[in-house]
Structure 1
């Protein structure tokens, strides 16, 4: 489990993923060396990662939530293959290990090759459904409440960076910068200059412009289990259309949820629940969720394993890039 300094550091990084350790230390009331040491320990022992991600709308990306079912002996291999692809995020094994859920990213003008070609040609997949993500109420720039419950309002004000309302579109020239930030959101200006071929001053100016316009945001990845949430589930809901916005906005305030989004399909709202244990999940479903008007149906799919969060992953040593492709049917 994490102590108060660890939780404060995670909360601070959600507010400003590139905040200097000295600034975080001042807000937390500890030394800079303590913050740096805690950050290194959390990276090494808890899988902490800070990643820079584009706002999907500014980047011209369409996002689909794909649900696949496969035979038990192939589902994990398929999920790992999906996780290694650069056009996926949030890859999870659910429902007894036979269901795979993944977010698929594609430019609005693309042909969606993963959905239209690669997945249908994979023999071991027994069913596929794809749900277009219409609107995200919780997730992306807005963090799970379990990650952001450590700092006071005054501390949060000290760490929250200022933004402007001036639009700042993401262009093709930003691809290398975004790729580097997706691997490490705290990469130095020198490291980002090496990845982009730009000068450090150009990197600093472009990064500042994108951040000020909220064209990019910084996410913090760490196991929810370390914050006391050992039970996870995906909730697929059918909401009365006239109540969809009200219900989704209410759910976005629930501390048990880390993701809430409106989708297309037979269910029009999906959420990701993180609870202390199965009893806490049952209490949430029957008391808090069950008391809301407008929820017509609810399907609960337990999450057994998360193979990929928002950021890219590095294929294990010895596995060539070609293994990242799904295996077609013969």
Structure 2
């Protein structure tokens, strides 16, 4: 089970995955050794993994969210097949009008067309796949409740706050 200190450590790693254990310790009020021990426990449990992330649009690639409906076979089988595709970055089952949400990265429109028509739509059980192309990433922060961006000043907000 995660406690508030674990969440604070994870938040610090999300801001800077290369921060030292001593820097994180200063930020959360723990010793370097305590942060290291907690990090290793979180890593062993598969809760945390520190990796480099890229932004597709800034790299000249396309980021696309696919909303997929599955018919006549278990969703898990389609999810497993989709996960095998190298372009697929994320697969999640969900409730609502779609059964799967799949995030993919493609070099260009031709690559996306090939992926959709030649591979995704040919997966057994895929009844419908709708592509939503990312034009610009406005916000991308997956932080625990204890760590937040500084809110925009009232005069900078578009909508009344």
User: TM-score of the superposition, structure 1-length normalised?
Assistant: 0.41
Kept after mapping to 2: 8 A contact 1:11/1:148: no
Q: Distance in 1 between matches of 2:131 and 2:98?
A: 17
Q: Which range moved further: 50-59 or 94-103? A: 94-103
How far apart are 1:19 and its partner, in Å?
0.5
Q: Which has the higher strand share?
A: 1
> What is residue 58 of structure 1 aligned with on the other side?
58
CA 1:76–1:44 in structure 2 vs 1: closer, same or farther (change >3 Å)? same
> What is residue 146 of structure 2 aligned with on the other side?
149
Q: Distance in 1 between matches of 2:33 and 2:73?
A: 47
After the TM superposition, which residues 160-179 of structure 1 pair with which residues of structure 2 at under 5 Å, given as runs? none
Q: Distance in 2 between matches of 1:90 and 1:132?
A: 15
CA RMSD of aligned residues (A): 2.7
- CA deviation string 1:249-268 (max 9, x = no partner): x9xx9xxxxxxxxxxxxxxx
After the TM superposition, which residues 284-299 of structure 1 pair with which residues of structure 2 at under 5 Å, given as runs? none
CA 1:16–1:42 in structure 2 vs 1: closer, same or farther (change >3 Å)? same
CA 1:49–1:78 in structure 2 vs 1: closer, same or farther (change >3 Å)? same
Q: Which secondary structure state, in structure 2, belongs to the residue aligned with residue 144 of structure 1?
A: coil
How far apart are 1:97 and its partner, in Å?
10
After the TM superposition, which residues 264-279 of structure 1 pair with which residues of structure 2 at under 5 Å, given as runs? none
> What is residue 119 of structure 1 aligned with on the other side?
120
> What is residue 36 of structure 1 aligned with on the other side?
36
User: TM-score of the superposition, structure 2-length normalised?
Assistant: 0.79
The answer for unaligned runs of 5 or more in structure 1 is 154-245, 254-330
Q: Which range moved further: 13-22 or 98-107? A: 98-107
CA 1:120–1:52 in structure 2 vs 1: closer, same or farther (change >3 Å)? same
How far apart are 1:84 and its partner, in Å?
2.9
After the TM superposition, which residues 78-93 of structure 1 pair with which residues of structure 2 at under 5 Å, given as runs? 78-93=78-93
Q: Highest relative contact order (Cα 8 Å, sep 6+), 1 or 2?
A: 1
Q: Which secondary structure state, in structure 2, belongs to the residue aligned with residue 119 of structure 1?
A: helix
The answer for unaligned runs of 5 or more in structure 2 is 151-157
